[in-house]
Amino acid sequence: MTDQEKKKYLEESEELISEGSENKTELANRIAEQSRRMANTYQHIEDGFLRIIRWFSTFIDRILFNRKNGKMVALVLAILMYVVVNYNTMASVYTSSLRSTRSMRDIAVTARYNTDTFELSGLPATADIYVTGEAANVINAVAGGGTVVADLEGLTEGSHEVRLSGEGFGDSVTVVVDPSVVNVTLKKKTTQQFDLSWDFINRDKMESVYSVGTPVFDYTKVNVRASRDTLDSIAFVKALIDVGGQAADFEQDARLVAYDSTGAPVKADIVPDTVHVSVAVTSPNKTVPIEIQVSGDVPDGKAIETITADQQTVTIYGAETVLSGIDKVVVTLNASTITKDSTILRPIVLPAGVNSSNINQITMNVTVGEGVTRTIDNVPINYRNNVNNYKASQPENKTTTSVTVFGTKTNIEQITVDDINVYVDMKDAIPGLQEFQLLIDQPADRLVRYSLNESTYELNVLGETNIDTDDSGSDSNNG
């Protein structure tokens, strides 16, 4: 660097340093000026606040220490102190002074009267209540509960208008009953004797294999006390014997209830209201064969060849009187649903009055084969229901007919004339020449089916009686 260049460099550096010094001085001056302005602002605010305090203090001094205003100030301070001290008490008084009304629906109505002498009618079972008063008292009264009472004491036989009143709600509330007035009737009671019958209840809770015998009562007549109208409406008095869960002979005190002719209970005094009863519990049963009854026809010209069941008998349970009239139970089979050899599960249909059985269903193995037909001639025509025992003759002396049998070859080959019963029903016969419908009994197992080759049969019915009736109810075929 030359001397001239060094000199120029030194001059430029001095100028820069001079400019930086001037800038720093200007910045410091601005900061100092801003500080002075803020200090002045704070001072003005402080002076204003002090002036307000001095003014308020002077004002208070003028009010509190002025003889003219001293009494007023004392009164205001006394009121403030009273309000602060008694705030809770005043709030409580204000709250308790609120009034409220609450309703109570369907309150049971009770009556005061001589139940031994009179029978009461016309009194409603329930009534509504409206409770009014201070809110706290209403809440307590409703929570405590009460009753609606009809006071009939001192009243005589006849109709009366009585007032219903609420009791048990306390004296601090007002109680209004709706309805407030009702019309009731008092009738004098009298006593009548009734024969005692019975009914078994809760039979569904007794095992079906058990049967109950005729109950034995300590007495068979009871006294019923009620008004004459009520007594006249009673059709019978029953002892309700609870058999639920019983499996052996038992005794109990059965409740007595009176009923009208429709089976509705009648409210009356039964004296006494129970009767001691002894009941025998048995398990009568009977073993009978199972009969399979086939309905419908196998489709496509086929027929049932065999039906083999896994059970041939069933043990049934019920009353002895019911069992004595039963000699079989029935299982049904719809042949129209069978198209090939099948294993079929079917329920056992229990006769009416039978409670249960040892089995509920059977399994059947059914085989089918091609259906064929066969005609059987010289089948006798019989008479049935010849209730008037008429003598009859056939104009052409025709006493037989032909029957077509349909089934598998094996089954129809076993059918003989003796297996077929063709007949005419003479229940509505009258003397003279008549045409009767020919009828035929189908076999119970329906493995074969019979068809008549002619549908009518002509008879000359005479007024004379000559045709004898056999034990089965079928008449002979002799004219």
**pLDDT, tens only, 50-89:** 788 877 777 666 666 666 666 666 677 777 777 766 655 5
Angle between helices 87-96 and 135-144 (to 10 degrees): 60
Portion of the chain with pLDDT greater than 70, in percent: 84
What mean pLDDT is predicted for residues 103-115?
Answer: 89
- Greater confidence (458 vs 479) lies with 458
**What is each CA distance from 54 to 44, 59, 363, in whole angstroms?**
15, 9, 118
Place of tokens 């109709």: 159
Return d(Cα 326, Cα 314) in angstroms, integer: 12
- Greater confidence (459 vs 8) lies with 459
Q: pTM of the full predicted structure?
A: 0.49
3-class DSSP assignment, residue 423: strand
- Position 363 pLDDT exceeds 90: yes
- Position 211 pLDDT exceeds 90: no
Return d(Cα 133, Cα 139) in angstroms, integer: 9
- Position 9 pLDDT exceeds 70: no
pLDDT of residue 464: 67
What mean pLDDT is predicted for residues 301-330?
Answer: 92
Integer-rounded Cα Rg, in Å, for the chain is 56
Cis peptide upstream of residue 179 (ω within 30 degrees of 0) = yes
What mean pLDDT is predicted for residues 229-243?
Answer: 95
Mean of all residue pLDDT scores within the chain: 85
pLDDT of residue 479: 40
Q: Are 302 and 368 in contact (CB under 8 A)?
A: yes
pLDDT of residue 419: 93
pLDDT of residue 208: 83
Contacts of 102 (CB under 8 A, 6+ apart): 130, 131, 138, 139, 142
User: Tokens in use for 136?
Assistant: 């706290």
In a 13 Å sphere around the CA of 276, the CA atoms on its Cβ side amount to: 2
- What's the pLDDT tens digit per position in 134-162? 988 888 888 888 889 999 888 888 999 99
**What is each CA distance from 292 to 24, 312, 366, 420, 429, in whole angstroms?**
128, 10, 12, 19, 35
373 confidence band (pLDDT: 50, 70, 90): very high
18 confidence band (pLDDT: 50, 70, 90): low
The amino acid present at 462, given as its one-letter code, is L
299 confidence band (pLDDT: 50, 70, 90): very high
**Within 10 Å of residue 436's Cβ, how many Cβ atoms?**
19
pLDDT of residue 475: 47
Q: Are strands 329-334 and 285-295 parallel, antiparallel or unpaired?
A: parallel
Burial class (CB in 10 A: 0-12, 13-18, 19+), 390: buried
- Position 469 pLDDT exceeds 80: no
Q: Are 137 and 174 in contact (CB under 8 A)?
A: no
pLDDT of residue 473: 39
pLDDT of residue 33: 74
What mean pLDDT is predicted for residues 389-414?
Answer: 92
pLDDT of residue 79: 78
pLDDT of residue 10: 56
Contacts of 180 (CB under 8 A, 6+ apart): 163, 164
CA 74 to chain centre: 79
pLDDT of residue 465: 59
